Amino acid sequence: MQHSPFTQPGKLRSPPCGDTCLIIAHASSQTDLFMRIAAIANRLDRSHPIALTLWAMLAAFVTYFCMYAFRKPFTVVKYEGLLIGGLDFKVVLLFAQVGGYALSKLIGIKVISELSPRRRAVMILSLIAVSHLALLLYAVVPFSLKPICLFFNGLPLGMVFGCVFAYLEGRRVTEALAAGLCASFIMASGSVKSVGAMLMEYQQVSPFWMPFVTGALFWVPLLLGVWMLEQLPPPGELDISARSPRTPFNGEERGRFFSRYALGICALVLVMVLLTVFRSIRDDYATEIWSGFGVERPEIFAISETWVAVVAVLLSAITVLIPGNYRAFQVSMGIIAVSFASAFGTTLFWWNTPEWTEATAFLYIVQIGICLYVPYVLFHTTVYERAVALLKEKSNAGYLLYLGDCAGYFCTIFMMILFHLISPESVDFKGLLFKLAVVISPASIALAAVVALYFQKQGSSFPMETIERPLPETTVPTGVTP
């Protein structure tokens, strides 16, 4: 009897693609729901700011959450005993996907900074469709070609964040909107891994089909999220007054902008590099780290990252309440420094724990995750956004985002290669997590201080209104004499 390609040999169960069909059929039957959503969308221009903010947060959250279903599920598999070219198979897969993702960030420096609003939705869906096709090929091609498929899986996905963020930047509530976006990638990483693990454990999906099947489950909510983003009105006059206009940014303009603020930009990028390396190791090797603590439950990924997301996003989103771009920027750098100091102290506290239980392991993983993601979210919600608003030059936050991400992911590849050269047989990822926290934290605190001092020194050249701008509610409309 032939086995379905979706199932592991010896397991005669219905292919879980039936679940996908059920979800699609159920979604298509909800005509009334979609009509109601469409009616709400038609009133967005005239709606209360809180309603518009909630709509934008939900749209960004859903869209980027779904993207992670096409990127992260394969990392939940250990691929124990599998080698390719004498190297651990999972290591090669991670090199391949992160390499494609890093190259995507490099391409995105130009593409995202020059992207026009009318092309955003098509760009998001096209990028994810190409990525999903690569996962289909990953399931069917010979073993030796699978890393190539994951390279092309990562290659388009690196530009999705910039496309989504472009809908949100340049608004008075950008920090709150971006916090919702960042909550998606913290929660989604653990959630889609749990979905993938459950598909393998309970539905007997083979490890090579699991990433494709997981992605297929998320197409309907992805389409809904992108449609919701498309309904958002552009930033209004008060938004532009408070945060500066955001326009496409060509190569010559990028060069002038970088040259003028090179020291501050480089220091920001270096902090982002350290954050990205730390986050990638914790995220991509989460299965191995949890195993090092003796925890094997598939749902643990979703549970731990949900706690991390809630705390990290709430702490980061409060910066929207800070009046004045200069003040908000400096407060953000202070929070980043405190977060790294907490990561350092937390790790030293737990360093010599003689015996780990699931409870103590969960507590440490969540604590270190919060200390890591508060700075990471602040960069994506506040630091770049307020820096662009503060400088009052033609630019956009997408350019700075992609500079930092590109450098961060290329350095991640270098560090992963270094770890496996030093310890080619087996890397202790639990121990590596501890060492990274102790080494990266002091360096990041020092760099955050450099950034704060640089912008403080530059402060005298900033227009006064960017430093002491009143809250948006007190802004006098254009043309009205107070």
pLDDT tens sequence across 6-45: 445 444 344 444 444 544 444 455 456 556 666 665 666 6
Residues 6+ apart with CB under 8 A from 68: 184, 185, 188, 189, 191, 192
Residue 472 amino acid letter: P
Say which range, 32-41, 144-153, 203-212, has the weakest mean pLDDT.
32-41
Q: What is the mean pLDDT of residues 330-349?
A: 94
The CB density around residue 124, as the number of other CB atoms within 10 Å, is 26
- Identify the band that residue 341 occupies on the pLDDT scale cut at 50, 70 and 90: very high
Inform me whether the pLDDT recorded for 384 exceeds 80.
Answer: yes
Q: What is the pLDDT of residue 246?
A: 63
- What does the CA dihedral 311, 313, 319, 325 come to, rounded to 10 degrees? 150
Q: What is the pLDDT of residue 337?
A: 95
Q: What is the pLDDT of residue 15?
A: 43
Inform me whether the pLDDT recorded for 110 exceeds 90.
Answer: no
Q: What is the mean pLDDT of residues 95-102?
A: 92
Q: What is the mean pLDDT of residues 254-282?
A: 90
- Identify the band that residue 126 occupies on the pLDDT scale cut at 50, 70 and 90: very high
The whole-chain average pLDDT of the chain stands at 82
Q: Which of 407, 415, 410, 420 is nearest to 99 (CA)?
A: 410
Q: Which CATH architecture has domain 40-471?
A: Up-down Bundle (1.20)
- Which is more confident, 46 or 200? 200
Inform me whether the pLDDT recorded for 433 exceeds 80.
Answer: yes
Q: What is the mean pLDDT of residues 381-385?
A: 83
- In this prediction, what percent of the chain has a pLDDT beyond 70? 83
Q: What is the pLDDT of residue 3?
A: 45
CA 427 to CA 400: how far, in whole Å? Answer: 33
Q: What is the pLDDT of residue 367?
A: 94
- Which is more confident, 20 or 111? 111
Q: Is 356 exposed, middle or buried (0-12, 13-18, 19+ CB in 10 A)?
A: middle
- Identify the band that residue 321 occupies on the pLDDT scale cut at 50, 70 and 90: confident
Q: What is the pLDDT of residue 463?
A: 52
Instruction: Give 214-224 pLDDT, tens digit per residue.
Output: 999 999 999 99
Q: What is the pLDDT of residue 42?
A: 62
- Identify the band that residue 244 occupies on the pLDDT scale cut at 50, 70 and 90: low
Q: What is the mean pLDDT of residues 139-161?
A: 95
Q: Which residues pair with 205 in a beta bridge?
A: 7
Helix (H, G, I), strand (E, B) or coil at 129: helix
Say which range, 74-78, 80-84, 160-164, 301-305, has the weakest mean pLDDT.
80-84
Which of 36-50, 135-149, 406-420 shows the highest mean pLDDT?
135-149
Domain boundaries, the chain: 40-471
What are the φ/ψ torsions at residue 354 (nearest 5 degrees)?
-70, -35
Inform me whether the pLDDT recorded for 239 exceeds 80.
Answer: no
What are the φ/ψ torsions at residue 7 (nearest 5 degrees)?
-110, 155
Q: What is the pLDDT of residue 248?
A: 67
| Entry pTM | 0.75
Which stretch of DSSP H or E encloses residue 343? helix 325-350
Q: What is the pLDDT of residue 152?
A: 97
Burial 59-93 (b: 16+ CB within 10 A, else e): bbbbbbbbbbbbbbbbbbbebeeeebeeebbbbbb
Q: Is 458 exposed, middle or buried (0-12, 13-18, 19+ CB in 10 A)?
A: middle
Q: What is the pLDDT of residue 175?
A: 78
Q: What is the mean pLDDT of residues 371-396?
A: 83
Q: What is the pLDDT of residue 4?
A: 43
Q: What is the pLDDT of residue 355?
A: 84
- In this prediction, what percent of the chain has a pLDDT beyond 90? 37
Q: What is the pLDDT of residue 406?
A: 87
Is residue 111 within 8 Å of residue 159, measured between CB atoms?
yes
Q: What is the pLDDT of residue 479?
A: 36
- Which is more confident, 272 or 17? 272
Which stretch of DSSP H or E encloses residue 20? helix 17-28
